[in-house]
Amino acid sequence: MFWLAPAGFDLLFVLDLCLSLQSSLPSCLAMVIVHRLELIISHLSVAVGSVLWIITRAKKRMVNFWSRQVRSSINWGVSKGAMSTPHVNGRWTWYEAQEWDSSTRGVCHLFQSCGSRNTSCTFCYTGDRSCYRDETEQRVSAIIGGIFFETSINDVEVIEQSGHCKPGLVEDTPPEWVRWGHASATVGSSLYVCGGRDNFEIKNSCLRYDIVRRVWENDVSPMKFSRQGAKAVEAYGELYIMGGHNGTHALSSVEIFNYEDGTWRQLDVPMIHPRADHCTATHEDGIYALGGRSLPDSGLVASMEVFNITTGQWSELKPPNLTRADHSCAFMENGLLVAGGRDLSGNNIGTVDFFNLTNHQWQPMAEMVIERYAFGLTVMNDSATAVGGHNGVTALKSAEQYSMGMNEWRLLELELDNARSEFSITGIPLSLLPEGC
C-alpha cells in the first residue's frame, strides 16, 4: 500500500530499535504503521486548511462582486459623511465602499436607480416612499396658514389640478398656532410646519400633522434657532430647514430633523451665503437654494448653490439672470423653474427663468399672467401651478398654470377660499389618503 512504500527508512530504523529493545517483529511493524498514520493525518489537516482558506477567499470575492452589482441598482438611503465625486449635470453620486464587510455594513448609500433591495443595510430609510420619492407619485398640495393684510390665517386648503379636495382632508391648525413666513414639508406620513411668525414674535417651534390619523400633534422638539422666511424640504427620510432670518440677520445654518429618533442636528457645513425668503427644491441627491434677502442690509442674494447630500458639500452654480426674493421654484423636465417674486427695488415681478440641468445654462421663459410674490408653486401632472401670493396691492386667491410644451401661463378657474400670502405649500402623496381627494 502507498503509505508503506516510502517507509523503508522508518522500517529499518524501527527494526534496529526493536532488536536493541528485544521487541517482537509484529510489535515493531505496528509501531511503523501507527507512525505513518499520524503523518498522513497531519498532511490531510494541512490540505483541508488550505482548501478552506481558498473557499473563504472565493466566497469573499463573490460577496464583493454581488454587493457591487446590487449597489449599482438600489436607491436606498444616505451615506453619512461619505465622500464621493461631486454632483454634476444632475447625475447621481454615491459612496462606493471598497469592501462589503463589517466596516461598511449598516452604512446607507445613494444609488443611481430604484431596484432590488439590499437586506444587509441595517440603517437605511426603509419602505417604498424612501425609494420612490420622485414626481411620478401623484400628489395633492396642502396650503397652510399665511397672512391677509395684518391678519394671520390658521386654515388649511388642499388642492389638486382640477380644484379643491374635500374639506377636512387636512384639519386647520389649532387657533393658538397661527403662522406666516413659516416652512413645511412632508416626511413619511407626517406633515411638519416649523418656524415663522405669529402676531408677536419669530418662532422656533414645530407642529406635526399625522396625515393618516388626521390630527395635529405638538410632539416635535423645537429647532435651535428661531426662523422666519426659512425653507423646508424632505430628503431621504429627513426634514431640512434652511436659512431664514431671526429678525435682524439672515441665517446660513441648516437644521435637520430625524423623525425616527425625534432629534435635531445642525448641518456641519452651512450654506455659502446667508439667505431668507429664498426658494429651495430637491433633485436626486441635491438640495438647491436660490436668491433671497441678505439681512441686515437691504440687498438680495444673487447666487444659487446646491448641497450634495452624498458628499456633504455645498457648491455654487451659475447665478440666474435676475436677482429676486419672495419667489418660488420647482423642478420640472430636467430643470429648475424660477418664477415671480420681488426685485432689488422691491417691485413685484412676473418674470420666469429656467435652469437647464444638462448644460447648466439659464434661459428666460414666458412671463406669468399676474406679477406675484410670496406665493406657492407646485408641480401637478407635469405642469407648474402658482397659487395665492401678493400683487403689491392685496393678497390673491387666483391660480395660474405653466405649460412647458406651450411655454405659456394661463389663469385657472381654481381659486383659493381665502386670499393669502406668506403661506407654505406642501405636497402630500395621494397614497396616504385612502379616501382620495
Q: Is residue 384 assigned to a domain? A: yes
In the chain, the percentage of residues whose pLDDT exceeds 70 is 69
Q: Last residue of a domain, which of 67, 86, 106?
A: 67
Averaged pLDDT, 229-254: 96
What pLDDT is recorded for position 20? 55
In-domain check, residue 9: yes
Residues 425 and 290 reside in one and the same domain: yes
Give tens-digit pLDDT for 45-96: 555 555 555 555 554 444 333 333 333 323 333 333 333 333 333 333 333 3
Identify the CATH number of the domain in which residue 270 sits.
2.120.10.80
Ranges 32-41, 54-63, 202-211, 240-249: which has the least confidence: 54-63
Return the percentage of the chain with pLDDT > 90, whole number: 57
Of 21, 49, 67, the one marking the end of a domain is 67
Q: What is the pLDDT of residue 52?
A: 54
At 300-325, the pLDDT tens digits run 999 999 999 988 999 999 999 899 99
How far is residue 283 CA from its own chain's centroid?
9
Indicate the burial class of 421 (C-beta count within 10 angstroms; 0-12, 13-18, 19 or more): buried
Least confident of 51-65, 181-195, 232-246, 390-404: 51-65
Question: In 3-state terms, the chain is what percent helix, strand and coil (to 5)?
Answer: 15, 35, 50
pLDDT of residue 199: 84
| Per-residue pLDDT at 15 exceeds 60 | no
Average pLDDT, the chain: 79
Considering the domain architecture, whether residues 174 and 285 belong to the same structural domain is answered as: yes
Q: Using DSSP, state whether 227 is helix, strand or coil.
A: coil
Give the pLDDT confidence score for residue 301 in this predicted structure: 96
pLDDT band at 137; cut points 50, 70, 90: confident
Say what the pLDDT of residue 164 is. 86
| 15 and 157 within one domain | no
The answer to whether the peptide bond before residue 319 is cis (omega within 30 degrees of 0) is: no
Any domain includes 92: no
In the predicted structure, residue 428 carries a pLDDT above the cut 60: yes
Residue 59 lies in a domain: yes
Q: Hey, is 266 helix, strand or coil?
A: strand
Q: Are residues 56 and 176 in the same domain?
A: no
Least confidently predicted of 11-15, 40-44, 210-214, 281-285: 11-15
Same domain, 171 and 292: yes
Per-residue pLDDT at 105 exceeds 70: no
pLDDT for 19 equals 54
In a domain, 357, yes or no: yes
199 and 332, same domain (yes or no): yes
Residues 145 and 29 in one domain: no
257, 232 contact by CB (below 8 A): no
Question: Domain span at residue 360?
Answer: 139-432
How many domains are there within the chain? Answer: 2
Report pLDDT for 48: 56
Shared-domain flag, residues 144 and 35? no
Question: Which cell is 388 given?
Answer: 395665492
pLDDT of 328-339, one tens digit each? 999 998 899 999
The answer to whether position 98 is within a domain reads no
**Any domain includes 133:** no
Mean pLDDT of 204-223: 95
Do the domain assignments include residue 253?
yes
Residues 164 and 244 in one domain: yes
Look at residues 221, 251, 255 and name the one whose alpha carbon lies nearest to residue 238: 255
| Cell numbers found for residue 151 | 391678519
Last residue of a domain, one of 67, 86, 113: 67
State the pLDDT at residue 81: 33
Mean pLDDT to the nearest integer, 400-404: 95
Cα separation, 122 vs 107, in Å, equals 8
C-alpha cell at 236: 431621504
Cβ-contact 385, 412 below 8 angstroms:
yes
Q: Is 236 left (phi over 0), alpha (psi -120 to 50) or beta?
A: left
Distance separating alpha carbons of residues 58 and 61, to the nearest angstrom:
5
Whole-number pLDDT of residue 310: 84
Structure confidence at residue 85 (pLDDT):
34
pLDDT at 290 over 90: yes
Residues 244, 381, single domain; the answer is: yes
The C-alpha atoms of residue 84 and residue 94 are separated, in whole angstroms, by: 6
Q: Are residues 169 and 311 in the same domain?
A: yes
**What confidence score (pLDDT) does residue 32 get?**
62
pLDDT at 255 over 90: yes
Phi, psi of 426 (to 5 degrees): -140, 130
- The values of phi and psi at residue 233, to 5°, are -140, 155
What pLDDT is stored for residue 436 in this prediction? 80
